[in-house]
Amino acid sequence: MSREDQPIAVVTGASSGIGAATATALARDGWRVVMVARRAERLSELVENIAAAGGEAMAEALDAADGPAVMTMAERVRAEWGEPSLVVNSAGAGEWRFLEETSVGEIVEMMGAPYLAAANISRAFIEGMMSQEKGLIIHVGSPASVMPWPGATAYTASRWALRGLHEALCQDLRGTGVRSSLVYFGEVSSEYFEANPGSHEHIPTLAAPIPLSTPERCAKVLLTVVRRPRRVVFYPFALRFMAWLAAITPGPTRWLIARTGRRH
């Protein structure tokens, strides 16, 4: 395949965890990858690793919650490489705390990623995908937007906003050839809990049977979604089972999660 024929993907949160593993897996699969995150050095290292393995990636160090910066980056990508046909929204952060333990500044910050980051990046590339009549926007979601647990209030609200963005896009994009997909993972062995101290302690014990996934395993799941897009995906199976349980017995599931979660 010539370089010009290689499809282009944009991956946010690409300096770490699920985003970094997905960018690497996509490059291995023949995609040219635009890697977005704030830490420039981490991105440069990953871009070099991808190049050493024979792939091609571009580092775009920016805060994806910054709309004008995202729009400028999108123009640069279009001018240098062309129109992407895949967006993976994996940028996300936020410590799990009760609302009264969260500052008003942190409430805004947590809305920045994943929600604003995903909305900005999707906005920047959606028209290009629509004009090609093909494309896929994948959002990396959290089970918090299906079955919330106590003590992760602003985090949860941002993941519900992400879910809202996905649901609205599914309706908007009917008949355009572009699709939106929301992928939920259980606990992942990324740097998330180191970067957001105090969060892990809030995982309800009810979630203990859900096996831990590696970022590389999540990347494999996301690549299956790229090949066969689906509206909503839960991984692993135990999480899908819990989501099903929450859908058919919402009251008892909510009660159990609250009982097995952390109290004030």
Ligand X SMILES: NC(=O)c1ccc[n+]([C@@H]2O[C@H](COP(=O)([O-])OP(=O)(O)OC[C@H]3O[C@@H](n4cnc5c(N)ncnc54)[C@H](OP(=O)(O)O)[C@@H]3O)[C@@H](O)[C@H]2O)c1
Task: Check residue 22 for interaction with ligand X (CB under 6 A).
Answer: no
Name which of 64, 61, 58 is nearest 26 in CA terms. Answer: 58
Beta bridge partners of 88: 11, 138
Q: Which residue has the tokens 């279009």?
A: 78
Residue type, 59: A
Task: Check residue 181 for interaction with ligand X (CB under 6 A).
Answer: no
Q: Output the smallest distance, CB 109 to ligand X, in A.
A: 8
- Per CB under 6 A, which region of 6-14, 67-75, 119-127, 245-253 contacts ligand X? 6-14
- The nearer residue to ligand X, 39 or 76, going by C-beta atoms, is 39
Asked if 180 and 239 count as a contact pair (C-beta separation under 8 A), the reply is: no
Non-local CB neighbours of 161 within 8 Å, separated by 6+ positions: 111, 115
Name which of 217, 162, 209 is nearest 189 in CA terms. Answer: 217
Task: Check residue 89 for interaction with ligand X (CB under 6 A).
Answer: no
Task: Check residue 192 for interaction with ligand X (CB under 6 A).
Answer: yes
Task: Check residue 92 for interaction with ligand X (CB under 6 A).
Answer: yes
Q: Output the smallest distance, CB 47 to ligand X, in A.
A: 13
Whether omega for the bond prior to residue 215 falls within 30 degrees of 0, making it cis, is: no
List 110, 147, 188, 242, residue binding ligand X (CB under 6 A)? 188
Contact residues toward ligand X (CB under 6 A) are 12-19, 36-39, 42, 63-65, 90-93, 112-114, 117, 140, 142, 185, 187-188, 190-192, 195
